[in-house]
Structure 1
Amino acid sequence: MPDRTSRRPSGSHRGPTRPGRAAARTPWPTGPVAIPTGTVELERDPDDPDGVTVLVNGVPSSYLDVADPSRLVFEYMQQMAAVLERVGPPGSPLSVVHLGAAGCALARAIDAERPGSQQLAVELDTALPELVRGWFDLPRAPALRIRAGDAREQLARLADGSADVVVRDVFSGDTTPPHVRTREVAADVARVLRPGGVYLVNCADRPPLADARSEAATLADVFDDVAVVAEPGLLRGRGYGNVVLAATDDPELLASPALARAVRSLPAPARLLHGDEVVAFTGGAGVLRDPDDAQGRTP
């Protein structure tokens, strides 16, 4: 059952409040709400009356600031946003596919920062998207379409060269389902991306980061360039956390010194690995592939 996992919220700076975003559309529940894949719950931020965390089956899956849609609090989303800032001309609309939706925090921020963007969010749970639309002032179609279904199956239906960005944020508990981690999926993402597009992956892992290393090796087998972004302590083998992987055919996007400086300057400073550093990070890890008899799908 996919959902997002996140590290603690970090102290991001609040942007300007945007009129018309402050009120929820329907009253928020005071406890867990049953959904087909388990439960969803809203947890108010005790330090910020405008902040709320969406928990899916007890796991923090999104943090939303109802007064400022551009504000991202989870550290891995801030890292993704630093990469996104370098896709296309500054402020230009993007076509974005989100594999994994939850509270649509990143999609909401992109809509605020890149007016005119068209986004598709895919969520396995059939009830969660409409609940989230009711609780929060999410953009409407065509700015943001939310589709219920399996991430891999929905990806296969998308047209060639139809997206600037694909974001994978799919989890079952605290791990990513195997059927969305393989080379075959990465190749399908590459098919969907336009030239210069980027694939962003949220990989939650713990030492020795075997999953992240295998995923980086898998992306490097498909894409021309790959970068790894994470907190320095996690890269040194301390604790459990999120590793962001970025893959593209653009030779300049991830090699930019400005990107490395941007991730170092985040509220929770991160490190960007690129080039030979990524080769060292993968350490000979094998490429993940579909089982021949199951196309990588789990029951």
Structure 2
Amino acid sequence: MTGSSSSPVAESTPGRVGLGPRAAAILVFGSSAAVLVVEIVALRLLAPYLGLTLETSTLVIGIALTAIAFGSWMGGHIADQVDPRRLIGPSLGVSGAVVALTPSVLRSTAEWAPAVLLVIASLTILVPGALLSAVTPFVTKLRLTNLAETGSVVGRLSGIGTVGAIVGTVLTGFVLVSRLPVSGILLGLGALLVAASAWIEWRTRGWSGAPALTLVVLAGGLAVTAAPGGCDVETKYHCARVVANPDGGNGRTLVLDGLRHSYVDVDDPTQLKFAYVRAIASVVDAAFPQREPLVAHHLGGGGLTLPRYLAATRPGTHSLVSEIDGGVVRINREQLGLRSQAGVDVRVEDGRLGLRRLETGSRDLVIGDAFGGVSVPWHLTTAEAMADVRRVLNEEGLYVANLIDHGGMDFARAEVATLGETFEHVALLGEPADIGQGPAADAVGGNLVVLASDRPVDLRAVQKALDARRTGWRITTGQDLTSWTGDAQLLTDDHAPVDQLLQPYSPQSGR
């Protein structure tokens, strides 16, 4: 009627019941939260195969945002063509089935068909993300019955969706990941979505697809037990495994996100397997009198190989370790025989914050061996971080750090240049070709060790120790190191593009 105060937007479609405001809010809240749960957990699923780098995070976030945009647009378009009551249940159910299958599908693809991992990973985020994002326009369409209420309905549901996304993010990051394996999170979410689908369909039109989707969720749960690439422990930051020495004995390798991080001989801490660990030990042995106890700080713990070594070879040494991952600390105690080793104090904290708590001039030695994936966390590489390292070292103190780079060594050059601006003496240890002492064509990259101090170190003694440990490594310093560094940029808190400087990682090199 022309004189009415409002105009109809959509006529009610026959069904068993309508969609009330409370049910609408629950659907929008839950579906929005589920999208963010899938996004965050996808990062953890992919980390063992792609690394937990800025590029990986950016890729997953970009795919998730694409799914949200596409689902919202397409959902709104379809809602104008089809009764939304027919769409909500299938969207929830199919997305739940895909989510439940994601852990086994991704891990199997990574092991058996890695060339298509990115495609499969994109689909496991895009499909459920788009379907779940379409729920909001479906619900909005059902709630819009009056033009006079359009703004309040759309605004309210949009706000509820945003709150749902926030809750999904916080719940996953602070609660779920610390208490449940990622496969359990996704299986549980898949089951909830299928249950919600069954409830919606039962309330509206008695759809019979729920039993089939329930079977898919159960199949996903069974497939997780058989899929390759599982973890012994899923910590807040890593997929962790402890691999026993295949040759027998009590040697064990700590594997984080598919990368070998530490080798520990429970019975003999002086057994050092990885070349970079032997190089750091060579520097320390040559730079300080034998068996002299030290006060050391370790940025990153891993398997605590070096703190154990110092405790065994320098009785009375006190090592304070900043290890951000409490799950890794538990692995050390439960599987790597740490127990209550004298002289090793481990704090679950960020390395940069741990440095701030140390008194000026309180350390003889600082060892940097913190990694997120294959890169040093950027905030531990900057001039400001190095200034804090220098502050906590005494006049005879030494900073030794493990770096990884490949190709043009852009990150390693930048880090060496940054240290050169902070310390008076800097030297670089590595394979000859990697540090400019051999044909550039022979450079393959991998681990490098950099040492920095304000007092000279006997590099001849260091080289002798490297040779005794059969590392094959050499040392570059002085003008040769300056030439190798070239015009590399300095890393600062304002600009430290560590992930972009790093060259692609070669799995054959290990850590």
Same structural fold, with TM-score higher than 0.5 when normalized by the shorter chain: yes
Cα distance in structure 1, aligned partners of 2:381 and 2:255: 23
Equivalent residue letter for 1:50: N
1:191-206 equivalent positions in 2, closer than 5 A: 191-206=391-406
Partner of 2:448: 243
Distance 1:97 1:79, change over 3 A: same
Equivalent residue letter for 1:259: V
Partner of 2:356: 156
Q: How much identity, in percent, do the aligned residues show?
A: 33
Q: Does the residue aligned with 2:376 lie in a helix, a strand or coil?
A: coil
Cα distance in structure 2, aligned partners of 1:273 and 1:52: 32
CA contact (8 A) 2:326 2:348 kept: yes
Runs of 4+ in 1 over 6 A off after TM superposition: none
Equivalent residue letter for 2:281: A
Q: Does the residue aligned with 2:303 lie in a helix, a strand or coil?
A: coil
Determine if the alignment matches structure 1 residue 275 to structure 2 residue 478.
yes
Distance 1:94 1:155, change over 3 A: same
Cα distance in structure 2, aligned partners of 1:154 and 1:43: 30
Give TM-score scaled by structure 2 length.
0.50
Cα distance in structure 1, aligned partners of 2:395 and 2:334: 36
Q: Does the residue aligned with 1:77 lie in a helix, a strand or coil?
A: helix
Equivalent residue letter for 2:454: D
Distance 1:174 1:121, change over 3 A: same
Partner of 1:222: 422
Equivalent residue letter for 1:93: P
Partner of 1:23: none
Equivalent residue letter for 1:40: A
Determine if the alignment matches structure 1 residue 110 to structure 2 residue 110.
no
Partner of 2:412: 212
Cα distance in structure 1, aligned partners of 2:332 and 2:232: 13
Cα distance in structure 1, aligned partners of 2:342 and 2:249: 30
Equivalent residue letter for 1:86: A
Cα distance in structure 1, aligned partners of 2:408 and 2:462: 26
Per the TM alignment, residue 179 of structure 1 is displaced from its structure 2 partner at its CA by 1.1
Cα distance in structure 1, aligned partners of 2:331 and 2:465: 35
Partner of 1:266: 469
Per the TM alignment, residue 172 of structure 1 is displaced from its structure 2 partner at its CA by 1.3
Equivalent residue letter for 1:79: A
CA contact (8 A) 1:53 1:62 kept: yes
CA contact (8 A) 2:242 2:335 kept: no
Larger Rg: 2
Cα distance in structure 2, aligned partners of 1:78 and 1:152: 25
CA contact (8 A) 1:37 1:125 kept: yes
Q: Does the residue aligned with 1:42 lie in a helix, a strand or coil?
A: strand
Determine if the alignment matches structure 1 residue 96 to structure 2 residue 296.
yes
Determine if the alignment matches structure 1 residue 175 to structure 2 residue 372.
no
CA contact (8 A) 2:279 2:471 kept: no
Determine if the alignment matches structure 1 residue 145 to structure 2 residue 350.
no
Cα distance in structure 2, aligned partners of 1:131 and 1:48: 20
**Structure 2 residues not aligned, in runs of 5+:** 1-43, 52-229, 499-511
Per the TM alignment, residue 43 of structure 1 is displaced from its structure 2 partner at its CA by 0.7
Answer 1 or 2: higher relative contact order, Cα 8 Å, separation at least 6: 1
CA contact (8 A) 1:201 1:246 kept: yes
Match of 1:185 among 376, 381, 385: 385
Per the TM alignment, residue 239 of structure 1 is displaced from its structure 2 partner at its CA by 1.7
Q: Which moved more, 1:271-280 or 1:228-237?
A: 228-237
Determine if the alignment matches structure 1 residue 36 to structure 2 residue 213.
no
Per the TM alignment, residue 140 of structure 1 is displaced from its structure 2 partner at its CA by 3.2
Determine if the alignment matches structure 1 residue 52 to structure 2 residue 255.
no
CA contact (8 A) 1:111 1:139 kept: no
Give TM-score scaled by structure 1 length.
0.83
Equivalent residue letter for 2:346: I
Q: How many residues align?
A: 267
Distance 1:88 1:262, change over 3 A: closer
Partner of 1:17: none
Q: Does the residue aligned with 2:401 lie in a helix, a strand or coil?
A: strand
Partner of 1:15: none
Cα distance in structure 2, aligned partners of 1:38 and 1:83: 30
Per the TM alignment, residue 139 of structure 1 is displaced from its structure 2 partner at its CA by 6.7
Match of 2:263 among 63, 69, 79: 63
| Structure (1/2) with the larger strand percentage | 1
Equivalent residue letter for 1:165: L
Q: Does the residue aligned with 1:84 lie in a helix, a strand or coil?
A: helix
Q: Does the residue aligned with 1:284 lie in a helix, a strand or coil?
A: coil
CA contact (8 A) 1:87 1:197 kept: no
Q: Which moved more, 1:140-149 or 1:151-160?
A: 140-149
Partner of 1:10: none
Q: Does the residue aligned with 2:286 lie in a helix, a strand or coil?
A: coil
Per the TM alignment, residue 142 of structure 1 is displaced from its structure 2 partner at its CA by 5.9
Deviations 1:40-84 (A, max 9, x none): 111112124221100112211100112211111110010001110
Q: Which moved more, 1:112-121 or 1:131-140?
A: 131-140
| Structure (1/2) with the larger helix percentage | 2
RMSD after superposition: 2.4
Cα distance in structure 2, aligned partners of 1:38 and 1:169: 16
**Structure 1 residues not aligned, in runs of 5+:** 6-29
Cα distance in structure 2, aligned partners of 1:128 and 1:191: 28
Cα distance in structure 2, aligned partners of 1:48 and 1:155: 39
